[in-house]
Amino acid sequence: MPNDIVAVDDGYAQIKVVGANPDGSNKPIMLSIRSSIRHGSIGSVSGSGAIATYETDDGATKMTVSDEVSGESTQFDGFHTSSMNRILIAHALVEAGYGGKDDINLWAGLPVANFFKNDESASRNDEFIAQKIANLKIPVRSLVPGAAPCPKYADVHIGCQALAAFIDYAVDDDFQDRQDVGLDRVAVVDIGGRTTDIAVVLGGQRCDPTASKTRNIGVLDVQKDLARRIQKKFEVSDSYSADFLDKAVRTGVAKLWGQDFQVSDLVEEAKAATSQKLTNFLSEILGSASNMDAVLFVGGGATLFEQSSKQFRNGKILDNPEFANARGLYKYAHLA
């Protein structure tokens, strides 16, 4: 079988996978796992992989990926070239059904701020890209008894997250260029877990570095704020897992002491401060965006902050926006 193309959008909050279907069908698989990971092993559960321990760096690093425990923060600057990042990607690929494969053609991403140099040239940051590739090539071994081995990569490529989202918009699912939309000047707003990235894509080809900005505004801020509000309202000091907070923000329901509690009012309050920061950031960088063909909203926050896209007459939330970067990388990989 030829190399399987697998694209991962490895974010601070979630690893999204879009890749060749292991069952051989044409429909790519799409899966996301939370970037919830901590050092050490907490007892391995095989099967669905709810708790899975891995080792890397020749056994010097052991980490466990699990939704059920509160993970360590992924929000540090070296994340993209860390053992943590490498293990999360390996785990996501095993969960997606690529365990045991040895010919994966892997595409991963970097935010605009890392993909391009932060100087006047704003050229591709080849040095950092090479570091990320080298990091991903270090083997990872699953310590889950009976679990499939982590896949091996025949090749590793790195794309730019915001450009990938643009490609998701500009190229359809049959890998054909879309003719029905203007593509000369398009802004991409990626509202992620840790950061919101704004990138302006010119002529369908390149990012305008002066118009591309990143700010630490994201859905994880809302989740953290919600945790504080729950602690205050229910007079507790317990910590909550990524899974708990994610569900509570998405559904407005929190399970406490084994019972469901409505917390939608707390979610709205937690959203308000972040939402205001987002509105200000978007206005500051894009104005009213009348000079853009479209403003594309992607990332998990695009759904949560749906009203942000309404701030612009030409605002559009891409389908299933959490997966836009990974889907775009997958399309790009097919065209490359």
Ligand X SMILES: Nc1ncnc2c1ncn2[C@@H]1O[C@H](COP(=O)(O)OP(=O)(O)OP(=O)(O)O)[C@@H](O)[C@H]1O
Chain residues binding Mg ion by CB under 5 A are 11, 192
Does the protein bind ligand X through residue 109 (CB under 6 A)? no
Residues forming beta bridges with residue 141, ordered by sequence position: 55
Which residue number, 55 or 246, has a Cβ lying nearer to ligand X? 246
Cα–Cα dist 148/313, whole Å: 49
Binding footprint of ligand X, residue count (CB under 6 A): 20
Cα–Cα dist 115/127, whole Å: 10
Q: Residue 246 binds what, of Mg ion, ligand X, none (CB under 5 to 8 Å, by partner type)?
A: ligand X
Does the protein bind ligand X through residue 41 (CB under 6 A)? no
Pairing of strands 4-10, 104-110: parallel
Q: What's the min distance (Å) between Cβ of 178 and Mg ion?
A: 23
DSSP SS3 for 230: helix
Q: Residue 12 binds what, of Mg ion, ligand X, none (CB under 5 to 8 Å, by partner type)?
A: ligand X
Q: Residue 249 binds what, of ligand X, Mg ion, none (CB under 5 to 8 Å, by partner type)?
A: ligand X
3-state helix, strand and coil shares in percent for the chain, rounded to the nearest 5: 35, 25, 35
Which residue number, 52 or 329, has a Cβ lying nearer to Mg ion? 329
Does the protein bind ligand X through residue 14 (CB under 6 A)? yes
Q: What's the min distance (Å) between Cβ of 158 and ligand X?
A: 15
Does the protein bind ligand X through residue 275 (CB under 6 A)? no
Which residue number, 144 or 248, has a Cβ lying nearer to ligand X? 248
Q: Residue 225 binds what, of Mg ion, ligand X, none (CB under 5 to 8 Å, by partner type)?
A: none
Q: Are 188 and 141 in contact (CB under 8 A)?
A: no
DSSP SS3 for 91: helix
Which residue number, 11 or 99, has a Cβ lying nearer to Mg ion? 11
The residue from 183, 217, 249, 263 that contacts ligand X (CB under 6 A) is 249
Task: Give the chain's count of helices (H) and strands (E).
Answer: 10, 17
Give the number of other CB atoms < 10 A from CB of residue 311: 18
Which runs of consecutive H residues, i.e. helices, occur in 116-158?
126-137
Cα–Cα dist 335/157, whole Å: 13
What token pair was written down for 314? 């030409």
Longest alpha-carbon distance in the chain: 57
Q: What's the min distance (Å) between Cβ of 300 and ligand X?
A: 2
Q: What's the min distance (Å) between Cβ of 227 and Mg ion?
A: 21
Q: What's the min distance (Å) between Cβ of 73 and ligand X?
A: 12
Q: What's the min distance (Å) between Cβ of 9 and Mg ion?
A: 6
Q: Are 6 and 96 in contact (CB under 8 A)?
A: yes
The residue from 188, 322, 326, 333 that contacts ligand X (CB under 6 A) is 322
Which residue number, 92 or 147, has a Cβ lying nearer to ligand X? 92
Cα–Cα dist 8/108, whole Å: 5
Nearest to 278 by CA among 195, 208, 201: 195
Residue span 162-201 as binding mask against ligand X, x where in contact by CB under 6 A, dash where not: ------------------------------xxxx------
Does the protein bind ligand X through residue 250 (CB under 6 A)? yes
Cα–Cα dist 285/301, whole Å: 18
264-286 helix and 219-233 helix, angle to the nearest 10 degrees: 150
Residue span 209-248 as binding mask against ligand X, x where in contact by CB under 6 A, dash where not: ---------xx--------------------------x--
**Rule CB under 6 A: which residues touch ligand X?**
11-14, 16, 192-195, 218-219, 246, 249-250, 299-301, 303-304, 322
